[in-house]
């Protein structure tokens, strides 16, 4: 049966490759990107491999709470149902590391935006829906102060913390949604896959992006992920496996959820105050 699948960061790398694969298999893909030009090229590339289907696109910079909320509203306004959300957009190295809302861009894009999008889209996610969150083999204990406000972490430290943080909130939210038939899973798509993120950060060409696209497609659709809620799939090992120990500690996972909630609330309050002054 054809599913409706929203992929964030579908304009390049693993996300674009996964969008092509899913569309080719007959699924309705909704492509998110932050650049209108790149979205136009991505939708043409997806349509070209899938019998010129009509591909819906959404443009939003996920580095701010405000734009992420608007994206969620746009998706809700233009769809009756969503079967799969793939939170793929991510950033490691970038010239500007502090967002306009004062957050470290790695936490903003890799951790907080996917949380906000997932929560806002829950009403649209039907029975048996899936949320696939992009984790990484790079995981480091989360400094909650750095999640809440940019503190000048170096690129790799910020990235690794943001990737453990998404793994932790995935487990935390999965456990709090046990009464709903939604599956949330974290996936390390494989290390050093040949995207611009990898060439910019490590100066290597990397392995085939199809390795990442295929595991995202399996996580989105295959029965082997039906009971995977809260788990971590490590595609370097080719199996489910233990993430960093912090992501197995539900108290610590819920502390990350709480810190994200507080950060979003603070950013929104500051916006209201600024609008009033
Ligand atoms: N490649 C690997 O080996 C590897 C390993 C582990 C995990 N991952 C994860 O896999 C995911 C995809 O990464 P990739 O390697 O395919 O990297 P990529 O080629 O750089 O793609 C990243 C995607 O995210 C989008 N993006 C970045 N910043 C954004 C922002 N502020 N707002 C909205 N969209 C934004 C990019 O948009 P633009 O096209 O406009 O730049 C692009 O579509 C990431 O979450 C990454 O952490 C990758």
Predicted confidence (pLDDT) per residue in 190-212, tens digit: 999 999 999 999 999 999 999 99
d(CA 228, CA 154) in angstroms, rounded, equals 33
For residues 7 and 60, the answer to whether their CB atoms sit within 8 Å is no
Q: Ligand 1 centroid vs 9 CA: distance in angstroms?
A: 6
Tokens of 18: 């996964």
What pLDDT digit, counting tens, does each position of 11-56 carry?
Answer: 999 999 999 999 999 999 999 999 999 999 999 999 999 987 879 9
Q: Residue 169: its pLDDT value, please? A: 98
Q: Which atom of ligand 1 is nearest to the CA of 110?
A: 45
Per cent of the chain over pLDDT 90 is 94
What pLDDT digit, counting tens, does each position of 86-124 carry?
Answer: 999 999 999 999 999 999 999 999 999 999 999 999 999
Tokens of 144: 């909650």
Average pLDDT of the chain? 97
Structural domain total, the chain: 1
Q: Ligand 1 centroid vs 11 CA: distance in angstroms?
A: 9
Residue 247: pLDDT band by 50, 70, 90 thresholds? very high
Q: Ligand 1 centroid vs 35 CA: distance in angstroms?
A: 13
pTM for the full predicted model: 0.98
What pLDDT digit, counting tens, does each position of 49-75 carry?
Answer: 998 787 999 999 999 999 999 999 999
Residue holding tokens 């960093």? 244
For residues 133 and 186, the answer to whether their CB atoms sit within 8 Å is yes
Q: Which atom of ligand 1 is nearest to the CA of 105?
A: 31
What pLDDT digit, counting tens, does each position of 213-241 carry?
Answer: 999 999 999 999 999 999 999 999 999 99
What's the rounded mean pLDDT across residues 151-163? 98
**Pocket lining for ligand 1, CB < 6 angstroms:** 9, 11-15, 33-35, 38, 61-63, 88-91, 109, 134, 136, 188-189, 191-193, 195-198
Instruction: CATH number of the domain at 20, please.
Output: 3.40.50.720
Q: Ligand 1 centroid vs 88 CA: distance in angstroms?
A: 6
Q: Residue 207: its pLDDT value, please? A: 98
Proportion of the chain in helix, strand, coil states, percent, rounded to 5: 50, 15, 35
Query: Does 180 score more than 90 pLDDT?
Result: no
Q: Mapping DSSP to helix (H, G, I), strand (E, B) and coil, where does residue 184 land?
A: strand
Q: Residue 277: its pLDDT value, please? A: 74
What pLDDT digit, counting tens, does each position of 158-169 carry?
Answer: 999 999 999 999
For residues 57 and 48, the answer to whether their CB atoms sit within 8 Å is no
Residue holding tokens 């502390």? 255
Sequence-separated (6 or more) residues with CB below 8 Å from residue 221: 3, 22, 27, 84
d(CA 37, CA 89) in angstroms, rounded, equals 17
Edge-first strand order for the sheet with 56-59 is: 56-59, 28-33, 4-7, 82-87, 125-134, 183-188, 232-234, 239-240
**Integer CA distances (angstroms), 18 to 104, 155, 177, 195, 209, in order:** 27, 26, 27, 13, 9
Q: Which domain holds residue 28?
A: 4-276
Q: Residue 88: its pLDDT value, please? A: 98
Give the residue, out of 39, 196, 197, with the most ligand 1 atoms within 8 A of its beta carbon, to mutate for a pocket test.
Answer: 197
Q: Residue 276: its pLDDT value, please? A: 82
């Amino acid at each position: 049966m054809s599913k409706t699948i929203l992929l964030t960061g579908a304009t390049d790398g693993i996300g674009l490759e996964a969008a092509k694969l899913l569309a080719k298999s007959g699924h309705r893909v909704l492509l998110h990107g932050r650049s209108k030009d790149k979205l136009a090229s991505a939708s043409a590339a997806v349509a070209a491999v899938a019998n010129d289907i009509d591909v819906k696109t959404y443009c939003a910079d996920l580095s701010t709470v405000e734009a992420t909320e608007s994206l969620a509203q746009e998706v809700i306004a233009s769809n009756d149902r969503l079967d799969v959300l793939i939170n793929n957009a991510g950033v490691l190295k970038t010239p500007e590391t502090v967002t306009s809302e004062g957050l470290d861009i790695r936490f903003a894009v890799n951790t907080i935006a996917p949380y906000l999008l997932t929560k806002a889209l829950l009403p649209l996610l039907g029975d048996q829906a899936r949320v696939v969150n992009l984790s990484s083999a790079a995981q480091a204990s989360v400094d909650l102060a750095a999640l809440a406000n940019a503190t000048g972490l170096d690129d790799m430290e910020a990235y690794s913390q943001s990737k453990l943080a998404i793994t932790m909130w995935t487990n935390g939210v999965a456990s709090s949604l046990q009464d709903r038939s939604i599956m949330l899973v974290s996936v390390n798509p494989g290390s050093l896959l040949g995207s611009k993120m990898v060439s910019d950060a490590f100066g290597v060409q990397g392995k085939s992006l199809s390795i990442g696209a295929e595991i995202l497609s399996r996580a989105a659709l295959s029965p082997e992920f039906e009971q995977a809620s809260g788990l971590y799939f490590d595609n370097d090992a080719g199996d489910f496996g233990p993430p960093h120990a912090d992501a197995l500690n539900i108290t610590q996972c819920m502390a990350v959820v709480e810190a994200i909630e507080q950060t979003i609330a603070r950013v929104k309050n500051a916006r209201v105050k600024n609008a009033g002054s």
